């Protein structure tokens, strides 16, 4: 609680008052404020703005906030509009940003689309689209240049409420569009299911080159196993390692002929019981019917 001025004389309180540094009235131009002793404060003021020139500490700063139900009427923002909007209801809402020349560069607006359906369409002051925010979306829009009324605006998306993540997981129950994975574009622009995702990744063949006889492991599923061996060699297919629907590509990269060998409990079905790759650079495919049975077809021989 401050000290009371009751029963004090003006001359005794002069040094404690706040005033403009030049002792003139406030105008449209920012002026530095000072105390009665002439000590400048880290604060400027005009008839329309207050500017702090140093660090400001506060326990609680509350920005203006507006909640509005979606309607067919465009909302036109001005320099005096609140910076944070949430749109409820449904059907969509168009919002026009203020004349950028009336704003400072770095001014931000926050839009939260809480509609059950319908987008928030945010246009600049010339009615050119800046952002289309789908239901459930959150977007921050920042003014980069106020040189013209339309301004130059930049948008950044925030994670909607139905997204969650941790150190090694990411969960989003909706559809992902225009995605890439490890730098490879997913061409159909939509991940409809885990099966679709896996199919896209399985289309990228990874090679596993071996230099001696080899027994397949679960990690070889949907890969190319190359046998780069100078002499005759075996490629063993174990039982209970792969599941129905999985497949492998096989190739004889080296001069030594590769024989496909069924492990204990495993059955390999091939035309004429052929189980050898025919020659150097021959290839074949294993397709698993079950964990203990697989087809072998390709450039194979007895």
DSSP 104-115: -TT-EEEEEE--
Secondary structure class of 15 (helix, strand, coil): helix
Q: Tell me the pLDDT band of 189, cut-offs 50, 70 and 90.
A: very low
- pLDDT tens for each residue of 27-81: 999 999 998 888 998 999 999 888 888 888 888 888 899 999 999 899 999 999 9
- pLDDT tens for each residue of 124-148: 999 999 999 999 899 999 999 999 9
Task: Tell me which residue has tokens 């509350």.
Answer: 62
Domains for the chain: give ranges and CATH numbers: 16-52 (no CATH), 65-158 (2.60.120), 175-201 (no CATH), 207-301 (2.60.120.640)
Residue, of 122 and 7, whose pLDDT is higher: 122
pLDDT at 203 over 70: no
- pLDDT tens for each residue of 151-177: 999 999 887 777 887 877 777 777 766
Q: Are 62 and 86 in contact (CB under 8 A)?
A: no
CA distance 133 to 121: 6
CA distance 252 to 234: 11
Which are the contacts of 143, defined by CB distance < 8 A and separation ≥ 6? Answer: 100, 103, 104, 105, 106, 107, 108, 151, 152, 153
Global pTM exceeds 0.85: no
- pLDDT tens for each residue of 252-266: 999 999 999 999 999
For the chain, percent helix, then strand, then coil, each to nearest 5?
Answer: 10, 40, 55
Which are the contacts of 248, defined by CB distance < 8 A and separation ≥ 6? Answer: 216, 220, 221, 222, 223, 224, 225, 242, 285, 286
CA distance 275 to 258: 9
């Amino acid at each position: 609680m401050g000290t009371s001025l009751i029963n004090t004389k003006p001359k005794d309180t002069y040094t404690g008052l706040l005033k403009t540094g030049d002792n003139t009235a406030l105008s449209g131009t920012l002026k530095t404020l000072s105390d009665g002793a002439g000590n400048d404060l880290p604060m400027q003021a005009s008839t329309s703005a207050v500017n702090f020139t140093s660090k400001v500490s506060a326990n609680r700063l509350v920005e203006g906030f507006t909640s509005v139900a979606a309607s067919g009427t465009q909302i036109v923002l001005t320099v005096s509009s609140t910076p944070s909007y949430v749109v409820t209801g449904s059907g969509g809402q168009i919002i026009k940003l203020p004349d950028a020349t009336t704003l400072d560069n770095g001014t931000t607006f926050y839009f939260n689309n809480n509609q059950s359906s319908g987008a928030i369409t945010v246009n600049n002051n010339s009615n050119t689209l800046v952002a289309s925010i789908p239901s459930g979306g959150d977007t921050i829009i920042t003014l980069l240049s106020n040189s013209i009324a339309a301004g130059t605006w930049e948008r950044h998306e925030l994670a909607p409420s139905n997204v969650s993540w941790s150190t090694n997981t990411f969960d989003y129950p909706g559809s992902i569009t225009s995605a890439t994975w490890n730098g490879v574009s997913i061409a159909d622009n939509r991940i409809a299911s885990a099966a679709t995702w896996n199919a896209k990744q399985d289309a990228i063949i990874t090679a596993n080159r071996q230099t001696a006889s080899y027994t397949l492991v679960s990690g070889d599923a949907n890969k190319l196993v190359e046998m780069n061996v100078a002499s005759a060699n075996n490629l063993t297919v174990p039982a209970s390692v792969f599941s129905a629907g999985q497949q492998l590509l096989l190739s004889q990269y080296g001069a030594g002929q590769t024989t496909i060998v069924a492990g204990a409990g495993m059955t390999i079905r091939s035309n004429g019981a052929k189980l050898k790759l025919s020659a150097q650079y021959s290839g074949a495919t294993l397709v698993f019917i079950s964990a203990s049975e697989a087809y072998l077809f390709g450039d194979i021989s007895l």
